[in-house]
Amino acid sequence: MSNIIGYILICIGLAFDFFGVLGLVRLPDVYNRLQAATKCVTFGTAGILAGVFVMEGYSVMGLKPIICLIFILLTAPVSAHVISRAAHRAKIKLADETIVDKYEEDKELLDKEDN
């Protein structure tokens, strides 16, 4: 029984990983791609790790995925935030569909405060 649940979780995780990668290819600019990369890939990888945990139980193999899962959930948003901030500071253009950019408007103000 636990094998079946584990396989189902792994399949769900793989499906969302696939959507995340498809988003990386289809979406227009860095920021939108990061959205797909953080959300889908985080959840997909968490699904795969949870599936391994369900299949293995409380054993040598089973507890390591839980630690990886906690670390992924804590670190993926932070890295996305850092990459998007660095991209904006390096003046990488937003996609043409973009309708508003409040960060650009306030940027001079922020730079002044940093110095």
Rounded CA Rg of the chain: 19
Q: Does 32 bind another protein (CB under 8 A)?
A: yes
92 CB contacts (<8 Å, ≥6 apart)? 29, 30
* Under rule CB under 8 A, residue 34 binds another protein: yes
**Per-residue contact flags (x/-) with another protein for residues 7 to 26, judged by CB under 8 A:** ---------x--xx-xx--x
Number of residues that bind another protein (CB under 8 A): 46
Site for another protein in 35-54 (CB under 8 A): 35-36, 38-40, 42-43
80 binds another protein (CB under 8 A): yes
Determine contact, residues 45/17, Cβ cutoff 8 Å: yes
Angle between helices 30-56 and 60-89 (to 10 degrees): 170
